[in-house]
């Protein structure tokens, strides 16, 4: 049997993580996320220039944001009175959807950045 503290930790982790991904994705898509070594789509192609970075986040940011919403929704769903196995399944689904949407956003973003990257950059 899970304790109330465990429920709260799961809820806060999933919704908080989702909120961070949503914020980063929106900031990147709107051009407010500068090139950095910590958050965003960081590949050699996207890091090649500020223009490539911006193009990648404009193109892939919406998909990453959807992933953040999936994780946050999973966190909210863990508040419902369900079995531990159902709560685990919902949490896992949220995490898998997050990973899939962020990976898809990165793929779309890198493709957009390749159109901007210098010719000597490996494609």
- At 60, give phi and psi (nearest 5°): -105, -5
Question: For position 117, what pLDDT does the model report?
Answer: 59
Let me know: does 74 contact 14? Beta carbons within 8 Å: yes
pLDDT at 109: 98
HEC assignment per residue over 21-42: HHHHHHHHHCCCCCCCCCCCCC
Q: What are phi and psi of 111, to 5 degrees?
A: -60, -40
pLDDT in tens, 5-45: 988 999 999 999 999 999 999 999 999 999 999 999 999 99
For 46-97, the pLDDT digits (tens) are: 999 999 999 999 999 999 999 999 999 999 999 998 899 999 999 999 999 9
Q: How many Å apart are CA 31 and CA 41, to the nearest integer? A: 13
- pTM comes to 0.90
> What does the pLDDT read at residue 116?
86
Q: Specify the pLDDT at position 4.
A: 85
Residue 19 corresponds to which tokens in the numbers above?
Answer: 């909120």
Place of tokens 């090139």: 35
pLDDT reading at 121 higher than 60: no
């Amino acid at each position: 049997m899970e304790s109330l503290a465990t429920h709260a930790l799961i809820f806060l982790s999933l919704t908080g993580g989702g909120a961070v991904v949503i914020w980063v994705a929106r900031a990147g898509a709107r051009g407010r996320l500068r090139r950095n070594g910590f958050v965003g789509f960081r590949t050699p192609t996207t890091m090649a220039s500020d223009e490539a970075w911006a193009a990648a986040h404009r193109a892939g940011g919406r998909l990453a944001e959807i992933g953040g919403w999936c994780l946050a929704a999973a966190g909210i769903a863990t508040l419902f009175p369900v079995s531990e196995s159902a709560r685990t399944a919902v949490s896992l689904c949220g995490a898998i959807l997050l990973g899939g949407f962020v990976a898809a956003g990165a793929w779309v973003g890198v493709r957009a950045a390749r159109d901007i990257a210098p010719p000597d950059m490996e494609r």
